[in-house]
């Protein structure tokens, strides 16, 4: 068992939920994870992360989405922790070096997405170029409401998996 898991398994439920919250942004998810303890290894942690996420209602998905900065913005919501802000910045660092046209396209696309779906555009940005993210954003603007909610939830699930691995390595 990793040192991170050993220590986390020993915490009270509230402290354990608070510690893992930056991996997702949903308080219900974080409490669900804390209640699943003890978790002995990465595989069990990742499986639990998926299971808890997939059982959440839409309101909890939306809470998680609100913890994200817009693609191309360095600042997230004011309530974001330092760890969450650092992870978000790392995940979309490729946007910092994008050309002005791509950055403008992302800003315009973010506004259009928020006008249409009333939430922040969520994409698992790790390993994607700014051009890919812009293409994905434009494609997803054509989705219906239900399909887009499911796509955003799947993207968030992927982000959670990556963040859980980062958390274990911290």
Domains of the chain: 3-168 (1.10.3330.10)
pLDDT for position 91? 65
Read off the tokens for 28: 């219900």
Vertex 84: Cα angle to 82 and 86 (nearest 5): 70
**3-state SS of the chain: helix, strand, coil percent to 5?**
70, 0, 30
pLDDT at residue 170, rounded to an integer = 81
Positions of the chain with pLDDT under 70 = 74-81, 83-86, 88-89, 91-93
pTM attached to this predicted model: 0.90
For 75-102, b/e burial (b = at least 16 CB within 10 A) is ebeeebeebbbebbbebbebbeebeeeb
């Amino acid at each position: 068992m990793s040192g991170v898991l050993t220590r986390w398994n020993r915490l009270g439920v509230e402290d354990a939920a608070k510690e893992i919250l930056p991996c997702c942004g949903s308080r219900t998810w974080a409490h669900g994870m804390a209640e699943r303890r003890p978790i002995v290894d990465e595989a069990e942690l990742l499986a639990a992360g998926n299971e808890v996420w997939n059982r959440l209602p839409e309101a909890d998905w939306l809470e998680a989405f609100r913890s994200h900065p817009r693609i191309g913005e360095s600042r997230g919501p004011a309530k974001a922790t330092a760890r969450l802000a650092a992870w978000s910045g790392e995940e979309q660092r490729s946007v910092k070096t994008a050309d002005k046209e791509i950055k403008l396209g992302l800003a315009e696309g973010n506004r259009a997405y928020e006008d249409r779906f009333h939430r922040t555009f969520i994409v698992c940005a790790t390993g994607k170029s700014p051009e890919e993210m812009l293409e994905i954003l434009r494609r997803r603007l054509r989705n219906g409401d239900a399909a887009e909610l499911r796509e955003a939830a799947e993207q968030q699930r992927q982000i959670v998996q990556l963040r859980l691995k980062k958390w274990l390595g911290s």
